[in-house]
Amino acid sequence: MSIHFLGTGGGRFSMITQRRRTAGIRLVHGDTHVHIDPGPGTLVFSNWARLSPQKLDGLIVTHCHPDHYTDAEVLIEAMSHGTTRSRGVLAAPRSVLHGNDECDPSVSTYHRNLPAVVENLEPGSVFEVGALSFEAVEARHSEADGIGIRLKVPGLGEVGYTSDTGFFEGLEEIYRRVRLLIACTMWPRAQHLKYHLNTDETLELIELAKPGCVVLTHFGMRMLNASPEAEASYLEEATGVPTVAARDGTLVVLGEWIEVRGPRKRDEPRLIEA
């Protein structure tokens, strides 16, 4: 199971400036490809990374903010092989599929009709793509219908993806003892942003949920200025849980061990026993 961090930027200013890419995450499990949160640049950087979006079997959009949804329609066209075949799973909450009080639908009716299956997600919804089993879980974000993801990988344990959420009592139950927690940590220590996790809140989540290891992503400008690597080291030291800050192009391989490979050839891979 490979997890490609095609983009690690989050929030308005990381997105607008593209100081970090906003291309989301590609999961590859055998022949099964799933993309999570296709923000601006997803089409370009998927192709650039030789992960053709035509290989996609599933597309998950966690909420209706642009850093999570803008490339959804083109990815749906790719997943349907240029609209020639009804194939793939589109999984997203009501806001993305149909709109809510704050936002119009993120995908047009035309595009919503292209995938073979459309899953309307709310906390507790379960769906499958290939052998991967996904559950939509609660998030508390400024977008009321937004969700996080808990994923079961056969024989390899569970992966949590917080997406954008504030910290709340019960968040630790949702991600309890996942093998790998992907924590969208927008801001650094001592800088609180409502409806998002900062380093202090991610610390609390790690201490309570006790994941096997943690990858930080979805960095805002303040986090980038503070250094995500420094924040990851701080978290690892404070909690004892191996914690890595993703970079654009980081690859995490879930096997007997968890291997984190940086985007450059000279990056020393890190093997984590988790």
Contact footprint for Zn ion (CB under 5 A): 10, 65, 67, 164
- Distances from the Cα of 1 to the Cα of 60, 105, 135, 223, 256, angstroms: 17, 32, 18, 28, 11
Min dist CB 67 to Zn ion, Å, is 4
Specify the residue, 114 or 182, whose C-beta has the smaller distance to Zn ion. 182
- Distances from the Cα of 53 to the Cα of 67, 96, 224, 246, angstroms: 18, 20, 28, 22
Min dist CB 261 to Zn ion, Å, is 25
Specify the residue, 211 or 220, whose C-beta has the smaller distance to Zn ion. 220
Min dist CB 63 to Zn ion, Å, is 6
Specify the residue, 114 or 149, whose C-beta has the smaller distance to Zn ion. 149
Min dist CB 199 to Zn ion, Å, is 16
Please name which of 67, 19, 64 lies closest in space to residue 42, comparing C-alpha atoms. Answer: 67
Min dist CB 265 to Zn ion, Å, is 30
Pairing, β 213-217 against β 180-187: parallel
Are 131 and 29 in contact by the 8 Å Cβ rule? The answer is yes
113: left (phi over 0), alpha (psi -120 to 50) or beta: alpha
Specify the residue, 195 or 234, whose C-beta has the smaller distance to Zn ion. 195
Specify the residue, 53 or 146, whose C-beta has the smaller distance to Zn ion. 146
